[in-house]
Chains A and B, each alone.
Chain A
Amino acid sequence: GAVVSQHPSWVICKSGTSVKIECRSLDFQATTMFWYRQFPKQSLMLMATSNEGSKATYEQGVEKDKFLINHASLTLSTLTVTSAHPEDSSFYICSNLFGTEAFFGQGTRLTVV
């Protein structure tokens, strides 16, 4: 199956700072990647769809200016949480599609203090 590498696996940052999370598709080129967020004991919720060379598509209720997505190459998508606050603390995870099968990165545990 497709391999997705996500970095970092965990990060602690101060309130008001920005954090960048990287998601790499290691063994094939992904024109589309997906970013999810998971709060404790909740489902994974789709935040946005990252499209190579064009703007990301955000789900309702997700602030595009707060969660900046860049998909500059066919193997790399980044999510930047800008001016992070404690309520942004969550588990962020990316995925790509190989055919119609989804493969996920290892996830990033973000804690904002």
Chain B
Amino acid sequence: KQEVTQIPAALSVPEGENLVLNCSFTDSAIYNLQWFRQDPGKGLTSLLLIQSSQREQTSGRLNASLDKSSGRSTLYIAASQPGDSATYLCAVCEAGSYQLTFGKGTKLSVIP
């Protein structure tokens, strides 16, 4: 059974700092991996999607990497801003079922 772990569970950084969020998964048979952002009491906003054949994806200040063989992904946020404060969720799409398995998330606080 696929298990997704996100470290750290919470992170607090001063504005302007670069930061890395980590995600690991136990079964490398995946279609893709997605990073989402969730604001309190809200739905999920898709940030980046990395297909299993890709190594990284970039969108603005965000860069996500994928090392499928080792079961790891990182989300790099450059020059963090208070508006980046949210919970970041990592989810893997399992090959064959299209089902997503989520981590518990990393709660990020960017201090002005």
A window 87-113: CB within 8 A of B: 91, 93, 95, 97, 100-107, 109
Q: Which of A6, A34, A106, A107 contacts B100 (CB 8 A)?
A: A34
Judging by beta carbons under 8 Å apart, are A44 and B42 in contact?
no
Listed from nearest, the 9 A-B pairs whose CB atoms lie closest are A104-B44, A106-B43, A43-B102, A107-B43, A44-B102, A104-B43, A43-B104, A101-B49, A100-B31
Q: Does A49 contact B (CB under 8 A)?
A: yes
Q: Which residues of A contact B102 (CB under 8 A)?
A: 43-45
Judging by beta carbons under 8 Å apart, are A6 and B43 in contact?
yes
State the interface size on chain A (CB cutoff 8 A).
25
Interface residues on B, range: 20 to 34
* Binary CB contact string for chain A from 32 to 53 against chain B (1 if under 8 A, 0 otherwise): 1010000001111110010000
Q: Which of A41, A43, A100 contacts B32 (CB 8 A)?
A: A100
Q: B interface, by DSSP: helix, strand, loop or mixed? A: strand
Judging by beta carbons under 8 Å apart, are B42 and A106 in contact?
yes
Which B positions have Cβ atoms within 8 angstroms of A?
A: 4, 31-32, 34, 36, 41-46, 49, 51, 89, 91, 93, 98-105
Judging by beta carbons under 8 Å apart, are B105 and A43 in contact?
yes
Q: Which residues of B contact A34 (CB under 8 A)?
A: 99-100
Report how far A83 CA is from B103 CA in the complex, Å: 30
Judging by beta carbons under 8 Å apart, are A46 and B89 in contact?
no
Q: Which of A41, A49, A93, A103 contacts B104 (CB 8 A)?
A: A41
Q: Which of A6, A10, A103, A106 contacts B46 (CB 8 A)?
A: A103
Report how far A1 CA is from B43 CA in the complex, Å: 15
Q: Which residues of B contact A10 (CB under 8 A)?
A: 41
Give the Cβ gap from A2 to chain B, nearest Cβ, in Å: 9
Judging by beta carbons under 8 Å apart, are A44 and B89 in contact?
yes
Give the Cβ gap from B16 to chain A, nearest Cβ, in Å: 28
Instruction: Kindly name the residue among B4, B31, B89, B102 whose own CB sees the greatest number of chain A CB atoms within 10 A.
Output: B102
Given A101-B49, A102-B46, A104-B36, is A43 in contact with B98 using a C-beta cutoff of 8 Å? no
Report how far A31 CA is from B49 CA in the complex, Å: 21
